[in-house]
Copies of this chain bind each other. A is one copy, B any other.
């Protein structure tokens, strides 16, 4: 009988992904503000599937091929040529149930494609709204895990690192964690968990201030609230779905 625990690593930036072996590994794509929070929310609210794309032209291309909702922002506004934005609040059940959402998410989609090319056996997305669902899934699978932070143009960010730390604090007994980045993420989460909104604010988080500048405090609050949309979005054949 093999009692060895599977390993867990945290990759804090896509620019470090080459350091990790993704073969036979579940990769969790983390893009807390706001891509993976919106993905969990839309699927929780009944979206048929979500097609993540890296840029606006790709999004428009999809709209010419299939019936879908196109979404993406530039500088805090709906991007030219698209219909909706990146806010989880736009994807209520009334609106999104049964529909296909094509979502522009630069950092998250890039990381997802990198993980796919590096041979990840399974790719899911994680965010505070689906924190517990992700943790329960990872524990149940008994496979090696890499938590992949989407970061911001490859720069490590506080919010994705916080989420990695939140996952680690829930699952660590089930994994062999020999990874300094994971330890750093968990220390960060323990320091910030009491009030993550206030934590990002006092720590002068770059992306927090970018979104606050667009008047999106309410989005940030939502994206830092655990377990409001507990589903596990899987990437399969170019789409994110829940089983």
Contacts and interface: CB of A to CB of B under 8 A. Distances in A.
Given A188-B184, A191-B191, A19 B205 contact: no
Interface string A152-187: 011111100100000000000000011111011001
Contacts of A190: 191
Q: How many copies does the complex hold?
A: 2
A210 to B, nearest CB: 11
A154 B16 contact: yes
Interface of A (DSSP majority class): helix
A202 to B, nearest CB: 9
Contact of A187 (B16, B155, B191): B191
Contacts of A136: none
A12 interface: yes
A15 interface: yes
Interface string A5-26: 0000000110110110000000
Contacts of A178: 204, 206
A12 B15 contact: no
A118 interface: no
Contacts of A15: 15-16, 18-19
> Which among A158, A184, A207 has the greatest number of chain B C-beta atoms within 10 A?
A184
A93 to B, nearest CB: 34
A72 B161 CA distance: 35
> Which among A15, A154, A179 has the greatest number of chain B C-beta atoms within 10 A?
A15
A156 B187 contact: no
A77 interface: no
A190 B203 CA distance: 13
6 contacts: A12-B156, A15-B16, A161-B184, A180-B206, A180-B207, A184-B184
In the A-B complex, the 7 residue pairs with the closest CB atoms: A183-B203, A158-B180, A157-B180, A187-B191, A156-B181, A187-B188, A19-B155
